[in-house]
Amino acid sequence: MATNGPGRPRHDDVLTPTEWRVAEFVRHGLTNRQIADGMGVSPDAIKFHVGNALSKLGFSKRGELRLWQGVAKGSALQRRRQAVGDSADLEAFTMLGQVARTARDIEAARAWYRDVLGLPELYTFGKLSFFDLGGVRLMLAEDEGGGAQQSILYLRVPDLHARKDILEQRGVKFTHAPHMIHRHEDGTEEWMAFFEDNEGRPLGLMTQVRSETR
């Protein structure tokens, strides 16, 4: 097997799996320190991977990576886009999929929403906890000291990239390109993109793509 170096198999994608993971975090708006803490590595290691990704993609600035729309080969979203092609309904109805709210103490908030308010808890990972509001998700995220934050509405759409293109044609400003934020144990992928309304307030697009593998 051809390799990129000693013991390293060649990848048939523009980025390695680790570079893709780091790139997704960058596109989500995380700093090198935050990415390093989440991945359990040093900030220098993240800086190295970010530099490699920028070089491979021909970018000179981190902001260019943040707005890059690339999709990893082999991802559930890439397979669905290949299968659907041009048959997707680009104007399909947009629904409210998620509402985000920050909390000073995520564990205390999690217990209150679950045990006092009685909301069904869907899952939790890290400092994020998700609840079901009759088909709409509530995401609780621990405030990392940034002060008061606005709630964010996440609009569920069938085709994230197509909807982004439509909104940009209408003058909408996107701050984050479509990116995968999480892959569940069953292979289901969560993808998001962020933009601003007419007053500069944040909004999000989201889609969930189930893996076809069994």
Close Cβ partners of 75 (under 8 Å, ≥ 6 residues apart): 180, 189, 209
pTM over 0.85: no
C-beta pairs of 9-17 under 8 Å, 24+ apart in sequence: 12/73, 13/72, 13/73, 13/74, 14/56, 14/57, 14/70, 15/52, 15/53, 15/56, 15/57, 15/70, 15/72, 16/52
- DSSP reduced 3-state for 103: strand
Residue 44 pLDDT more than 80? yes
pLDDT of residue 86: 47
The pLDDT value given to residue 27: 96
Identify the burial level of 4 via C-beta atoms within 10 angstroms of its C-beta, where 0-12 means exposed, 13-18 middle and 19 or more buried: exposed
C-beta of residue 179 within 8 angstroms of C-beta of residue 138:
no
pLDDT score of 148: 53
Instruction: Say which CATH architecture domain 12-68 belongs to.
Output: Orthogonal Bundle (1.10)
pLDDT digits (tens, 9 = 90+) for 81-136: 777 654 445 455 578 899 998 888 899 999 999 998 899 999 898 888 999 998 99
Lowest mean pLDDT among 40-44, 64-68, 149-153, 157-161: 149-153
User: Which pLDDT score, from 0 to 100, does residue 46 have?
Assistant: 97
Domain locations in the chain? 12-68, 84-209
Establish whether domains 12-68 and 84-209 are of one fold.
no
Per-residue pLDDT at 152: 86
Each residue's pLDDT tens digit, 161-195: 999 998 999 999 999 999 999 999 899 999 999 99
- Residue 2 pLDDT class (50, 70, 90 cuts): very low
State the chain's mean pLDDT as an integer: 86
Q: What is the pLDDT of residue 131?
A: 95
Residue 61 is given by DSSP the state S
Angle value at C-alpha 80, between 203 and 127, nearest 5 degrees: 45
How would you label 60-82 residue by residue, b for 16+ Cβ within 10 Å and e otherwise? eeeeebbebebbbeebbbbbbbe
pLDDT in the model for residue 1: 33
In CATH, the number for domain 84-209 is: 3.10.180.10
What percent of the chain has a predicted confidence (pLDDT) above 70? Answer: 86
Mean pLDDT to the nearest integer, 45-65: 96
